[in-house]
Amino acid sequence: MTDVHPLARPDGRILLIGCGNLGGALLKGWQAAGLPPRAIHIVDPNLKADTLALPATNVHRDIAEAPAADIAVLAVKPQLIEALAAGIDAALSPATILVSVAAGVGTDRLRHLFPTPGAIVRAMPNLPASIGQAATVLYADITTGSRARAAAAGLFELVGSTDWVADEGLMHAATAIAGSGSAYIFLMIEELAAAARALGLPDAVATSLARNTVAGASAMAMASEAPAASLREQVTSPGGTTAAALQRLMQADGGLGTLLKQATQAAAERSRELAGT
């Protein structure tokens, strides 16, 4: 068996099942990364082919119309999976690698619902996939071989960073950090802008400063080898303005650290509830 990534073959084919918020972000990212339109097929009941930069023949309203795929990415809402499983499974082949991005649906459940595909991988990406900057966590059990793992990871490396966890229980934590995490940073931008307005800055300036400050700090953290704590210390003169703010943000009880731990624990707990574990 060849080690060439399935999508590097001229006839390699990916099937994206569900093209909503996350599926749409993955599609945009794959297209920007150069995946040829002929390689991507989509199944979603309400999509219009002319908005997707894909041939009309690659956009399907019904899974029964879709061709066999090397990799099928399951990106529908978790609560729909049970009802759709039989129809989806019938469209897969033993050569298909099924990659599920559904929060909280475990490998055992997926295997039960999808007996046909030869390999199953779980992935928890996030919306910055649309600009090639997703952070994706992957998990597969020991029955999934290295070729299928590499093929699944390759798909997400096209749209950002990838990390594997060896314990499926950690996918709840991955969901709380990566899957949901972009929302925390968007909230940070919203609240920084609101704080700027409260200090008297005009709306447009407040919005611009909040977005660009988060973007600049993120880019600097990525460009630097230094840990984030060192970068923070570089901005903080003893007795200065930053120190005055950090004293409040870093207080042991009720500071940002406490809040983030509580928030991510709530997200992980909700992921466990959705999984029924």
Ligand X SMILES: NC(=O)c1ccc[n+]([C@@H]2O[C@H](COP(=O)([O-])OP(=O)(O)OC[C@H]3O[C@@H](n4cnc5c(N)ncnc54)[C@H](OP(=O)(O)O)[C@@H]3O)[C@@H](O)[C@H]2O)c1
Contact positions vs ligand X (CB under 6 A): 17-23, 43-46, 75-78, 80, 84, 101-103, 124-127, 179
CA atoms of 139 and 152, how far apart (whole Å) = 10
Smallest distance from ligand X to CB 216, Å: 24
Please say which residue, 58 or 196, places its beta carbon nearer to ligand X: 58
Please say which residue, 173 or 206, places its beta carbon nearer to ligand X: 173
18: which 2 tokens? 């569900």
State whether the Cα torsion 275-112-124-72 is positive or negative: negative
Tell me the residue number closest to ligand X, measured at CB.
20
CA distances from 274 to 25, 77, 270 (A): 23, 11, 6
201: which 2 tokens? 């800055």
Please say which residue, 43 or 121, places its beta carbon nearer to ligand X: 43
| E strand segments, the chain | 14-17, 40-43, 59-60, 71-74, 97-100, 119-124, 134-139, 160-164
**CB atoms inside a 10 Å sphere around CB 229:** 7
CA atoms of 111 and 74, how far apart (whole Å) = 13
Please say which residue, 127 or 151, places its beta carbon nearer to ligand X: 127
Please say which residue, 76 or 151, places its beta carbon nearer to ligand X: 76
Smallest distance from ligand X to CB 164, Å: 16
Smallest distance from ligand X to CB 91, Å: 10
What residues does 71 pair with on adjacent strands?
14, 97
CA atoms of 244 and 256, how far apart (whole Å) = 14
Smallest distance from ligand X to CB 25, Å: 8
Smallest distance from ligand X to CB 208, Å: 25
Q: What are phi and psi of 74, to 5 degrees?
A: -90, 110
Please say which residue, 102 or 121, places its beta carbon nearer to ligand X: 102
Smallest distance from ligand X to CB 41, Å: 12
